[in-house]
Structure 1
């Protein structure tokens, strides 16, 4: 006798290299209009549960679910009884018999997301926790592959805070051979040590390079991509009162882009113009930030398709 279980996406570390590549390729097929599946989620119901603000991620998953044939139920921060003290485990136990999938953005760490995922009948998709933004990385890699045709060997400079977007980039791009990923982060605002250790292990295994430094001097002479994020990431508080002064040298300027005329500029958005990036860069000819945002929809289609397609397993 066979039974079905659904797939979760809590962390990029849960994916094999092959699964990561499959998700990127699937996202690209949706972006390029070559995916022949017609509403593969017809008849399914997906919960959209966001505790933090979101424009691109919430809209992309809601739109993707509807486009793929599913129906959605949306929950705001005060809608579930978690807000009155019910445990996540009890909430997940109930939701899992009513929903086929749950796309969630929490205020905490992945522990909450794994509590939701402690069952196999409802897919749980991490739409951002404090420590990782896996679906952003999938959209980013889809955009990179769409632009360059291949991810292997790409040279990327990430400049700014070592936040959850940076963590996801570190845990994903290092899985592709020959990639070079340089992080320039302010002192005291770098990537978590655990994340860098995992990224370095991936890099060593896959013939990639990952480096972090806390200044913008002595950079390599060539990059394919310059990437930044806003300095005030959703849900974070800076420990230093003068943090903006600490971050100023890490602004992406037109002068920096001029050093790499063949490079493209990427930003996960929203952007604070003339803070982490000059408006002339964001709106300039090297920028593909808004194509990157568009690809969040196509990548969301890929994630939902991949996670919500039941996996047949042997019943015990």
Structure 2
């Protein structure tokens, strides 16, 4: 009987204890890497598939590099490579791949149900590398970065500025579960977090003794340890309003905004568009840890693959 694998489709399906352990494990990988120590090889003899229907630099490379460093072999699929393009169902594709692969890392940027369909089997672990509704592995990289810089996630105060996109959704579903944290999400009108995400995050915050708030007014934002933004045009999406850039202009993270949080570090999930969501002086300035955050995607990917595939 093949070993049953774990899936990571949404952070809502991960317990608090599992979330905490994943962040701790990723932080451990990051610390070991910084010390020049190699990864252990818990995935020796395993095969991991990566399937990216949309462009990816950090996430695709992070999972591929992590899998290889953990001892696995990697098969990469592009958007035109699988027989889904000729009419095979996603469920059938998942069933076939599960007979050959141990893990499958998927980015669709489409509805969450697309990735969930690959997980309609229990032989192959499926990891959501970004869907329209959530980017769970990004949040793990974010929390790993906070843990590495602050020594813990508990108590972290984060100001998120920009669209309530899949990265912001994942952040809200993760940070609010740590004790005494504070997350303030500031978005342009009409571009906030989905109502269901707000309800879930508020519930997590009540249970953990944390603070969670959504607003459209940057002036209402309290002091923060971390200021976080993402690019205004999320991968695989478009905006119906032709004048949407005018709506987003007041939400740029610039030197004036950072001066209101003089001790804060700057986070960005990248890619960045200097002069749009962030000023070049901020992204390239001394407060920026965005490229450390990018590296931590590999360490968090390692923690995810180990947990999903090796158990």
Q: Matched residues in 2 for 1:290 and 1:3: separation?
A: 39
Residue equivalent to 1:87: 89
Q: Matched residues in 2 for 1:208 and 1:81: separation?
A: 46
Q: Matched residues in 1 for 2:146 and 2:190: separation?
A: 29
Q: Matched residues in 2 for 1:37 and 1:51: separation?
A: 29
CA-to-aligned-CA distance 1:187-215 (integer Å, 9 cap, x gap): 11111111111111111111111111112
Residue equivalent to 1:12: 11
Secondary structure of the structure 2 residue equivalent to 1:33: helix
- Structure 2 gaps, min length 5: none
**What is the alpha-carbon root mean square deviation over aligned residues?**
1.3
Residue equivalent to 1:64: 66
Query: How do residues 115-130 of structure 1 correspond to structure 2 at under 5 angstroms?
Result: 115-130=117-132
State the 1:139 CA deviation. Answer: 0.4
Secondary structure of the structure 1 residue equivalent to 2:48: strand
CA-to-aligned-CA distance 1:103-155 (integer Å, 9 cap, x gap): 00013121111111111110000000001000000000000000000111111
1:268 aligns with 2:269: yes
Which residue of 129, 134, 149 corresponds with 2:151? 149
State the 1:38 CA deviation. Answer: 2.3
Q: Matched residues in 1 for 2:218 and 2:151: separation?
A: 29
1:139 aligns with 2:141: yes
Secondary structure of the structure 2 residue equivalent to 1:65: helix
Secondary structure of the structure 1 residue equivalent to 2:3: strand
State the 1:37 CA deviation. Answer: 6.0
1:300 aligns with 2:301: yes
Query: How do residues 1-316 of structure 1 correspond to structure 2 at under 5 angstroms?
Result: 4-33=3-32, 38-220=40-222, 222-310=223-311
CA-to-aligned-CA distance 1:129-184 (integer Å, 9 cap, x gap): 00100000000000000000011111110000000000000000000011110011
Secondary structure of the structure 1 residue equivalent to 2:177: coil
CA-to-aligned-CA distance 1:39-83 (integer Å, 9 cap, x gap): 110011111000000000000101111111111111111100111
Q: Matched residues in 2 for 1:135 and 1:50: separation?
A: 14
Tell whether the 8 Å contact from 2:43 to 2:67 is kept in structure 1 after alignment: yes
- Identify which range, 69-78 or 210-219, moves more after superposition: 210-219
CA-to-aligned-CA distance 1:199-236 (integer Å, 9 cap, x gap): 1111111111111111212222x210000000011011
State the 1:4 CA deviation. Answer: 2.4
Q: Matched residues in 2 for 1:280 and 1:182: separation?
A: 23
Give the TM-score, by structure 1 length.
0.95
The change in CA–CA distance for 1:154 and 1:296 in structure 2 (over 3 A counts) is same
Q: Matched residues in 2 for 1:183 and 1:169: separation?
A: 10
The change in CA–CA distance for 1:276 and 1:36 in structure 2 (over 3 A counts) is closer
Q: Matched residues in 2 for 1:37 and 1:53: separation?
A: 27
Tell whether the 8 Å contact from 2:2 to 2:123 is kept in structure 1 after alignment: no
Tell whether the 8 Å contact from 2:67 to 2:305 is kept in structure 1 after alignment: yes
Residue equivalent to 1:313: none
Secondary structure of the structure 1 residue equivalent to 2:32: coil
Q: Matched residues in 2 for 1:152 and 1:69: separation?
A: 32
